[in-house]
Amino acid sequence: MRPIASLDIGEKAGQVIGSDLPQMRSLSAADVLALTDRLVPAVRSLTAPRALGPVNDGWVLQGDERNAFASGRVHPVPLIVGGNSDEGRIFIRSWPIHTISEFNAFVEQNFAKVAPGALQVWSAKADQDVPDALSYMFADTQFNFGVRGMAREQSRLQPKTYRYLFTRSPNGEQSAPMHTEELPYVFGNLTAPGFVKRSGVDATDKRLSDQIMDAWVRFAATGDPNGPGLPTWPLYHVATDPYLEFGNSVVANAGYRNHALDFVQEFFAGGGTTK
């Protein structure tokens, strides 16, 4: 749901990699991956289009996805969409932003004229607050806004739309689950290596994985994940913003981080510019 890079941005990014097309096409996968740092800055913008990603070239992609969803130019397939309760942590933990002044400067860079409002939404009163504020700012702009936006727009076209929030950390650890940590539960492979190092799993993790797999398989077969072993997973409605929380227990909830996501929505609806 963020702005997609224009063809001009994509072409300029390509020039950073090289200009000899036959030579570029001859690169191995390892060689290509080694060039990633040329396209991905150490601290990336949260509001500008990303060069490394989809490109609005006017042929394959013909506009931003927000406009496509809003105008109904998407396939109205049944949908499960969701995320984890600390999506941003893994991405920002190496960023050189540690103090209030560094954090405020980053917010100003991303939100410019509406930076004071952003600092109210993602508040940091002292240096020790910066990691949490930065993590949730990243999550809300890069993941949570898109999750809610997809659920809202798809539900207008297809009633069988369901949203989830994953809040369980393996083995009951205190730190909240980060990006991708629900995937081993979905595929029933709780010991698979991942981006986040954890201490192990327990019986609660196994039970939760079984519940998730049953729901996902029912959804794949019927378009409805509801069935034995779960509380009722409500159809998504814009008015109430319901979701099913998969955590230490499975419960229905509503309105996840709507205050922050409303701010992001207003920012992009207003042009999403830092100029």
**Tens digits of per-residue pLDDT, 75-116?**
999 999 999 999 999 999 999 999 999 999 999 999 999 999
Residue where one domain finishes, among candidates 41, 63, 85: 63
- What would the pLDDT profile of 236-261 be if each residue is shown by its tens digit? 999 999 999 999 999 999 999 999 99
- What would the pLDDT profile of 18-48 be if each residue is shown by its tens digit? 888 899 899 999 998 898 888 888 899 999 9
Q: Contact, 261 vs 146, CB < 8 A?
A: no
Is residue 126 predicted with pLDDT exceeding 60?
Answer: yes
Rg for the chain (alpha carbons), in Å?
20
Q: Residue 250 belongs to a domain with what CATH number?
A: 3.40.50.1820
Say how many C-beta atoms besides its own lie within 10 A of residue 24's C-beta.
14
Could you tell me if residue 130 is inside a domain?
yes
Which amino acid is it at 69? F
Q: Tell me the two tokens of residue 109.
A: 């860079």
Is residue 275 predicted with pLDDT exceeding 50?
Answer: no
Number of separate domains in the chain: 2
Could you tell me if residue 96 is inside a domain?
yes
Q: Contact, 56 vs 4, CB < 8 A?
A: yes
Could you tell me if residue 69 is inside a domain?
no
Place of tokens 């702009």: 141
Q: What share of the chain is helix, strand, coil (3-state, %, to 5)?
A: 45, 10, 45
Q: What's this model's pTM, rounded to 2 decimal places? A: 0.92
| Co-location of 49 and 86 in the same domain | no
Q: Tell me the two tokens of residue 62.
A: 């013909």
Range of 10's domain?
A: 1-63
| Co-location of 114 and 167 in the same domain | yes
Strands (E), 153-237: 161-166
* H/E stretch holding 34: helix 29-34
